[in-house]
Structure 1
Amino acid sequence: MKTYLCIDIGGTTIKSGIFDDDGYIIERFSLVNTDNSDKKRNIVTSLMTIINQAKINYTLSGICISTAGVVDPNTGEVIYAGYTIPNYTNTPLKALVETNFQLPCEVENDVNCACLGEYWKGSLRDVENGICLTVGTGIGGSLLRDGEIEHGIGFTAGEVGYLLIDGQKYQDIASTTYLINTVNHHKQTKLNGKEIFELAKNGDVICVNGIKKMIDNLSIGLINMMYLLNPEVIVLGGGIMAQKECLEPLINDSIAKNIEDHRFFKTKILFAELENDAGMIGALYNFKKRH
């Protein structure tokens, strides 16, 4: 049985585990906290430690990496990372891994990996043209066209968080961060997202209105994507989308209310199925496609 080490690199944490050839997890490793401004705890140092430890008990057929940042999937290099991950731009992950461990490695952007994971095992199964969004601290996006990731000429296709809506970035008015900041500003508290939804379920007006405003903003972006690409499916992921029972009717109602005509609303709005494993599963799928 072939085994693969799949790694999902975020801004401050790294998830990893051993997967088999069919995308099923064999062993899940502990979450690793990183600080890319600290040489002892930075991403590359932590990555090397994870691989060394995995090699003790497994004969690996490959290293499959999903990472935050803009990635050139051909060279496996992080060609751009924002201010949230200092010292990460121009990190040649694929070359570093293959040179140090003599194992094949493939690297892809984390939202693209989530999209590929959902295409292989989740909500995008049997869909050839779709969009995958992750809503969290910001908003990440990925475009699926004819069953392949659309990277664009500079590998930045799908960076929808930077779309401008009324002069503001989409992710600044439609993310979980926006919801938390809005509610806490009005309530003068420090609630997290889960607490906001609990209060909303109990009728808290400020929390209810905060969620509704976030969803209306999110829906404006979804409508614009429908106008431009007319995809079969838009899949919504990220921690907040676990609140499907609450959010699904709000999103569909908001789109129906604001879209030009019902004829434009042929796209299905679905919720991600793979949750926290989507990036690792998609990283494996990307590796398998390239080998």
Structure 2
Amino acid sequence: MIPTEGVGSKSLDSILKNKLPALGIDLGGTKLSAAVVQDFKVVSEPRTVPTPHGSENIVNAIVELIQAFQKDHVLAGAGIATAGVVDPETGNILGSTGNLPGWSGTPLKTLIESRTMLPVRVDNDANAAAYGDALAMGMADKECVIGVTLGTGIGTGIIINGTVFRGSNLSAAEGGHIRINLGNKRFCTCGLFDCWEEYGSGRGLVATTKELLPGITSAQSELANHIEFLTTRMITAAADNGDLIAKKGIQIWHEHLAVGIASLEHLMDPYCFIISGGLSSVVNFDLLREMVIDRCMPRYAENVKIYHSQLGIYAGIIGAAHEVLTHINRQTA
């Protein structure tokens, strides 16, 4: 049950009447970020802390973030976007990958509501980002919109007629785990081999570039001396400096992205794809669109539309905040 006295003495009806903002929280494997959101805009200074180890420590960190924002803002509620499989009605974490070990089974909504007295809505991070993007870009009424979040891994969310598609067991749209290679070449954090995110994510870009470096000297590439500690930032910076190995790595990375997107195009026939996440800034959208079209049957190719998120790195935060506001509206309808 959503607390009806979550903000001082204000009821839910008062919350809606005064159009209070919500707090959006994005929980990833390496960092925990939050910001106050109103009308699809971040209206506070975002705050980010490293994601602690262990479910109890993560819950404590989320509570501390919320309480810090409550000192300066009257909030309608808090929306939490988290990696893993989520039951959005109970707010329980049903499953998690290696990015958040021990997270599965956490009754997150109950724990946070009991300590903050705010209405809380929990969803998968890719679902929240796709939902926020579809709303912000005026596409929530389309039959199908697919959000693709590019970061350490790949998250996907499917929005059908304005509603997040969750599947029969709340586990739909794990597009990052489509298998795109049969060679058991790259082991994924989910326990399987050759998932799309092991090729099209930040990890994938690093792994692909590393494969190009053996036999390359520092005179040929500035990355040659950093193979053991290579990062996406190093690769993109080197590419900007004209490094041919870095450029080739990014080119192949685009091909890997295109393989997954073309598969989703054939499966779902979406109105469009919306690309978000920290790594979306690396995407050459004209090149990616061309590569996807090359991998689609003609009937699908002529309808391929791929857009860059208007919400940028805040898509998950904004989507999560608007999910809790939408849920409050439904509770009082």
Distance in 2 of aligned mates of 1:50 and 1:265: 46
Residue 53 of structure 2 aligns with which residue? 36
CA apart distance, 1:201: 4.2
Gaps of 5+ in 2: 1-17, 183-193, 214-223, 329-333
Contact 1:170 1:221 (8 Å CA) reproduced: yes
Residue 293 of structure 2 aligns with which residue? 256
Q: Which of 151-160 and 101-110 deviates more? A: 101-110
Residue 180 of structure 1 aligns with which residue? 206
198 and 19 in structure 1: CA distance in 2 versus 1, 3 angstrom threshold: closer
Q: Give aligned pairs, total.
A: 286
Residue 287 of structure 1 aligns with which residue? 324
Residue 221 of structure 1 aligns with which residue? 260
Residue 27 of structure 2 aligns with which residue? 9
54 and 241 in structure 1: CA distance in 2 versus 1, 3 angstrom threshold: closer
Residue 278 of structure 1 aligns with which residue? 315
185 and 16 in structure 1: CA distance in 2 versus 1, 3 angstrom threshold: same
CA apart distance, 1:287: 1.1
83 and 131 in structure 1: CA distance in 2 versus 1, 3 angstrom threshold: same
Q: Secondary structure at the match of 2:79?
A: strand
CA apart distance, 1:275: 1.3
CA apart distance, 1:274: 0.7
Q: Secondary structure at the match of 1:83?
A: coil
CA apart distance, 1:59: 2.9
Distance in 1 of aligned mates of 2:48 and 2:268: 37
Residue 44 of structure 2 aligns with which residue? 27
Q: Secondary structure at the match of 1:165?
A: coil
Distance in 2 of aligned mates of 1:201 and 1:27: 32
Which of the two has greater strand per residue?
Answer: 1
| 1:67-146 → structure 2 map (5 Å cutoff) | 67-122=82-137, 124=139, 127-146=142-161
Contact 1:78 1:91 (8 Å CA) reproduced: yes
CA apart distance, 1:141: 0.5
13 and 200 in structure 1: CA distance in 2 versus 1, 3 angstrom threshold: closer
Distance in 2 of aligned mates of 1:161 and 1:145: 19
Residue 4 of structure 2 aligns with which residue? none
Equivalent position amino acid for 1:25 in 2: V
Distance in 2 of aligned mates of 1:238 and 1:25: 16
Equivalent position amino acid for 1:14 in 2: L
Distance in 1 of aligned mates of 2:264 and 2:46: 37
The runs of at least 4 consecutive aligned structure 1 residues that moved more than 3 Å come to 122-128, 262-265
132 and 114 in structure 1: CA distance in 2 versus 1, 3 angstrom threshold: same
TM-score by length of 1: 0.90
Distance in 2 of aligned mates of 1:265 and 1:224: 15
Distance in 2 of aligned mates of 1:263 and 1:154: 29
Q: Secondary structure at the match of 1:31?
A: strand
CA apart distance, 1:107: 0.9
Equivalent position amino acid for 1:286 in 2: E
Distance in 1 of aligned mates of 2:260 and 2:165: 19
CA apart distance, 1:102: 2.6
Equivalent position amino acid for 1:163 in 2: I
Residue 62 of structure 1 aligns with which residue? 77
Contact 1:123 1:272 (8 Å CA) reproduced: no
Gaps of 5+ in 1: none
Residue 235 of structure 2 aligns with which residue? 196
Residue 277 of structure 2 aligns with which residue? 238
Q: Percent identity?
A: 29
Distance in 2 of aligned mates of 1:101 and 1:175: 35
126 and 194 in structure 1: CA distance in 2 versus 1, 3 angstrom threshold: farther
Distance in 2 of aligned mates of 1:199 and 1:57: 42
Distance in 2 of aligned mates of 1:182 and 1:15: 29
Contact 1:123 1:271 (8 Å CA) reproduced: no
Contact 1:8 1:279 (8 Å CA) reproduced: yes
TM-score by length of 2: 0.79
Residue 191 of structure 2 aligns with which residue? none
